[in-house]
Amino acid sequence: MARNTQLAFLLMAGVSLTASQAYAGSFMLREQSTIGLGQGFAGVAAGSAGLSSMYWNPATMTFVPGWQSEWVLNGIFPQSDIKPYSVGGITRDWPSTGDIGQDSFLAAGYTSYQVNDRLWIGLATNTPFGLVTKNPFNAPGQVYARTSKVASFDINPNIAYKVTDWLSVGVGFQAMYFKTRLSQAVRPEPNMPSATLRGDSWGYGFTAGVTITPIEGTVVGIGYRSSVKQDLEGNLRTPLGRTGVKADLELPDQLTIGITQTVTPDLTLSAGFEWTKWSRFGVIPVIATSGPATGGQVATLPFKYDDGYYVSVGGEYAWSPELTLRAGLGYEWSPISDFNRDLRLPDSDRIHASIGLGYKINNKLSVDLAYSHLFTVNGDIKLNARNPHYVGLPYFAKTDSSVDIVSASLTYRWDDPGEPNQPGIFK
């Protein structure tokens, strides 16, 4: 193959270098709380997830007395199989990819400190975005995807203020590290080398929220996580060499609304709504920063996502002073559809079914456990001229996906619970 022809194909192949779904619509990770997971994340913006509700709404810290910390660990076990039925215009019994989902563990940590009767300070550390999938090396659709990795780490200091007995407000600052590695074959024939795009950067944003208690037993919460702009810098490696690149993208902002209602002293019901502005992800150019193509566009990231939505209902029941039982149900509308679905991870709408429990070991220490199963409303992959990921090879497939999530957390109170509403060191 002539050098110019090969280069043209490599640049065309770069069009589909993008990441797809993780576990909360596209590559966002909702699994930031064991207590929240056990209730299907219903009411998390209104404080139903306890201390870890600060991820969605920093104002919820005002519901957490004294000095407390929470540590969360999730095991995420996805299963996703892609079964092509037509590739390159040939319809036959093509081999499936097998399970392209990669098991992973996700940790989060939270601490809040009550300075006085009105003021709280806190710190959250999270992984808001992530993805790991791996397609077989010589799969029929290898020109669309081989390995996809997205990782992030977010440091989020917060402050909350109790304005009145019925109104609290909170704000926070986000410092987020983001890293990605995406690869695919340069041609559809077997044993072709890969084109690999890598990049990382730090980005900054904010969180904000409010809680309102209109009547005793009812809490309404609204939380906002801002968009975080990432100015990725890295390189694009192909058989022709390595080129320095940059790509500017904006991770989506998110609005969460929650409500909790105390029905009896033992039973609390919750509901939630979440909107994620994935439509920020259109077609993102990748610009060369070194070599003869410096300043030119060498690839694109063709997301073209829709906005994502999630609704949920759930609740918890105090079986005894020590044991609390939880359950929840949610439905998610994915930002990925038949129009823009590809092989990196075939996201689709899904149903979330969750259960959980909490056990108070003593007045300082409690443990929580939860399990959730995600039933996907499987969508087809239709890589043709209408799909933004299309690189010239028609590819049609059925998908079969699901996710199992197990979660555990510990919550510890550092001060003396026998002295509620302690004013702290800043008297």
Over residues 198-205, mean pLDDT: 96
Does residue 424 sit within a domain? no
pLDDT tens for residues 150-177? 999 999 999 999 999 999 999 999 999 9
Q: Global pTM? A: 0.89
Least confident of 24-33, 142-151, 202-211: 24-33
Least confident of 29-38, 119-128, 371-380: 371-380
Least confident of 10-24, 133-147, 213-227, 266-280: 10-24
H helix or E strand, kind and range, residue 205:
strand 194-212
Q: What is the pLDDT of residue 99?
A: 84
pLDDT at 353 exceeding the cut of 80: yes
Mean pLDDT, the chain, rounded, equals 89
pLDDT band for 7, please (50, 70, 90 cuts).
very low
Does residue 101 sit within a domain? yes
pLDDT at 423 exceeding the cut of 70: no
Q: What is the pLDDT of residue 19?
A: 33
Give the SS3 label for residue 37.
Answer: helix
* Cβ count within 10 A of residue 30: 26
pLDDT at 15 exceeding the cut of 50: no
Range of the domain at 98: 3-413
pLDDT at 22 exceeding the cut of 70: no
Give the SS3 label for residue 34.
Answer: helix
CB within 8 Å of 292: residues ≥ 6 apart? none
Q: What is the pLDDT of residue 25?
A: 56
Does residue 420 sit within a domain? no
pLDDT band for 248, please (50, 70, 90 cuts).
very high
Q: What is the pLDDT of residue 419?
A: 58
The answer to whether 344 and 383 are in contact (CB under 8 A) is no
Over residues 345-369, mean pLDDT: 93
Over residues 367-384, mean pLDDT: 91
Does residue 233 sit within a domain? yes
Domain count across the chain: 1
Burial class (CB in 10 A: 0-12, 13-18, 19+), 13: buried
pLDDT band for 26, please (50, 70, 90 cuts).
low
Which residues on neighbouring strands pair with residue 183, listed in sequence order?
196
Does residue 426 sit within a domain? no
- Give CA–CA dist 221/47, Å, rounded: 8
Does residue 425 sit within a domain? no
Backbone φ and ψ for 37, nearest 5 degrees, come out as -60, -40
For the chain, percent of residues with pLDDT exceeding 70: 92
pLDDT band for 368, please (50, 70, 90 cuts).
very high
- Higher-pLDDT residue of 132 and 1 is 132
Q: Which residue has the tokens 């799909």?
A: 387
Q: What is the pLDDT of residue 45?
A: 98
Q: Which residue has the tokens 């998110």?
A: 254
- Higher-pLDDT residue of 104 and 324 is 324
The answer to whether 156 and 172 are in contact (CB under 8 A) is yes
- Higher-pLDDT residue of 66 and 13 is 66
Backbone φ and ψ for 110, nearest 5 degrees, come out as -145, 140
The answer to whether 422 and 114 are in contact (CB under 8 A) is yes
pLDDT band for 302, please (50, 70, 90 cuts).
confident
pLDDT band for 303, please (50, 70, 90 cuts).
confident
Does residue 127 sit within a domain? yes
* Cβ count within 10 A of residue 277: 18
pLDDT at 14 exceeding the cut of 80: no
Q: 8: which 2 tokens?
A: 């043209």
H helix or E strand, kind and range, residue 325:
strand 323-333
pLDDT at 81 exceeding the cut of 90: no
Altogether, the residues listed in the chain come to a count of 427
Which residues on neighbouring strands pair with residue 332, listed in sequence order?
310, 350
The domain that holds 366 is classified in CATH as 2.40.160.60
Longest Cα–Cα distance of the chain, Å, equals: 78
Q: What is the pLDDT of residue 164?
A: 96
pLDDT at 9 exceeding the cut of 60: no
Does residue 403 sit within a domain? yes
- Give CA–CA dist 268/53, Å, rounded: 16
